[in-house]
Amino acid sequence: MSTTLIQNGRIITAVDDYIADILLDDGIIKMIGLKLEVGPEVKRVDATGLLVLPGGVDPHVHLENVVGQSVTCDTFASGTRGAAFGGTTTVIDFALQTAVDGPLQAIARAQSLAESQVGVDYALHTIITRVDAQVLADMRHAQRHEGVSSFKMFMAYPGIMMADDAAIFKALRQVGADGGMVALHAENGTVIDLLIEEALAAGNTAPRYHALTRPALMEAEAVHRGIKLAELAEAPVYFVHVSSKGALKSIVEARDAGIPVFGETCPHYLLFDDSVYENEEFSVAQFVMTPPLRKAEDQQALWRALRFDDLQVIATDHCPFCMREGHLGYRQQKSRGKDDFSQIPNGAPGIETRTSSLYDLGVVQGRISLNRFVALIATTPAKLFGLFPKKGTIAVGSDADVVLFDPNEHYTVRAEHLHGNCDYTLLEGKTLQGRVKKVFLRGELIVDGDLWLGKAGGGRYVPRGNVQAF
């Protein structure tokens, strides 16, 4: 294991901001101090002028995930390499329960796929699509013995992944009592399916109708319902990819009333609005993600919620599908929906651009503080999902997951320069301020400028503990 002294960097945590040296040894942060003295054998890295950030924790990624009829185009290898270049050293992926198996088989399957491939550390949520006594027992086992303390459930996609309200309530009641958390994808799935059916029957098949058939009101309705179910179950609840002002209204009200409701939004909801859907072209398919992009007023509400802690996390919902048929051998990805928007696999890439885009949009443009930035991308996701203080902060004893970040460098994002498998980025041609320069994973340098020094299988599974945020 390497020993490295990072000298003279500006250390930013969710609460601190100071200049010091950090000694990485044995995979952990061994010492933090002014002008640390070490032997000549210790590697030194001069971080003068750089921010020293905890490795990012991205709690919402889909690597090699089956979504509908397609599989996301990033493998655990390519996706975690992209994550590393973007300053993320821990991802939480999903283990999907299928119609014929349960949570424990899903976890084992995801681990066996990930193990030899991951370039950063990873953990798992389980997606629960069916709840019965055996599934509940498996969930309890997963929480106690497999380090899986959060379970995602869908209020959308009837017949594919949707769980009904009673199933969600049962899961909330048990998981909450056991110290874990249910994460909800909140959209009213049956009404949305009706709107999709009507749009197609009217001949409205272009990608833009994806957005028009998933109204913000149906997100707000589902969030409200999810909160009431959680309240009745006396359980905490986490809303993934919150996108709209209406959804936030219920979250804010619940939090003001002392109900433990948490939520994330994603960079794409802050970067773009629904004006991208104002054309009939198939290129719009790159913006076919769920929920769809919303209006400028929704963005304002999201920023407000991020500032005032009504939303606690920025996750990517990295769910990449190629636009070009045959790119790297991937077929029938976005093009599956060429003649029918409802067949376009939902999702967009973003794992590699989270840190820079949030730094630029949030910190440089004066919307959030540096401490809040770190809280949103590292510390709070680590706390909410039981990874703290091993992950998510810079402290003696924490894993030596450290990012050196140049707050002044500008660069232009190009898909061809990114490190995952996807053939496009939503940020193509955008110039951002702030760039990841070096990344350490448990003390090992895995990214050095443009160089990938990590290796497939160099990441580890991290079993998680209980929710820690309240």
- Lay out the site mask for Zn ion across 383-412 (x = CB under 5 A, - = otherwise): ------------------------------
Choose from Zn ion, ligand URP, none: what does 346 bind? Cβ within 5-8 Å by kind. Answer: ligand URP
* Least distance CB 62 / ligand URP (angstroms): 6
Select 28 or 319, whichever has its Cβ closest to Zn ion. Answer: 319
Of 11 and 251, which has the nearer Cβ to ligand URP?
A: 251
Interface mask (CB under 6 A) for ligand URP, residues 94-113, using x and -?
A: --------------------
Among ligand URP, Zn ion, none, what binds residue 243 when CB lies within 5 to 8 Å by partner kind?
A: none
Q: Which residues pair with 378 in a beta bridge?
A: none
User: Is position 138 an interface residue for Zn ion (rule: CB under 5 A)?
Assistant: no
> Is residue 317 close enough to count as binding Zn ion by CB under 5 A?
yes
- List the interface residues with ligand URP, window 319-348 (CB under 6 A): 319, 346-347
For the chain, state the CA radius of gyration.
Answer: 21
290 contacts ligand URP (rule: CB under 6 A): yes
Q: Which is nearer to Zn ion, 185 or 435 (CB)?
A: 185
Sketch the per residue contact string, 220 through 259, with ligand URP: x for CB under 6 A, - otherwise: ---------------------x------------------
User: From the list ligand URP, Zn ion, none, which binds 244 (C-beta under 5 to 8 Å, kind-based)?
Assistant: none
**Residue placing its CB nearer to Zn ion in the complex, 7 or 250:** 250
Secondary structure E strands in 155-231 = 181-185
Q: CB-side exposure of 162: number of CA atoms within 13 Å? A: 16
| Signed CA dihedral, 300, 303, 309, 313: sign only | positive
Residue 17, C-beta contacts closer than 8 angstroms, at least 6 positions apart: 10, 11, 370, 371
Is the distance from CB of 355 to CB of 12 less than 8 angstroms? no
CA 13 to chain CA centroid, Å, is 19
The two beta strands, 17-25 and 4-12, are: antiparallel
Say which residues have a Cβ less than 8 Å from residue 341's Cβ, sequence separation at least 6.
199, 204, 205, 206, 207, 208, 209, 210, 285, 288
For Zn ion, the binding residue among 10, 30, 185, 214 (CB under 5 A) is 185
Q: Which is nearer to ligand URP, 341 or 440 (CB)?
A: 341
Secondary structure of residue 206 in the 3-state scheme: coil
User: Does residue 289 belong to the site contacting ligand URP (CB under 6 A)?
Assistant: yes
User: What DSSP string runs through 23-42?
Assistant: EEETTEEEEEETT----TTS
What minimum distance in Å lies between the beta carbon of 91 and ligand URP?
Answer: 14
State phi, psi for 291 to the nearest 5 degrees.
-60, 165
With beta carbons less than 8 A apart as the criterion, state whether 9 and 48 touch: yes
**One character per residue 43-82, x = contact with ligand URP (rule: CB under 6 A):** -------------------x----x---------------
3-state secondary structure 185-199: ECCCHHHHHHHHHHH
Residue nearest to Zn ion as judged by C-beta position: 185
Chain positions contacting Zn ion, by CB under 5 A: 185, 317
Chain positions contacting ligand URP, by CB under 6 A: 62, 67, 185, 241, 289-290, 317, 319, 346-347
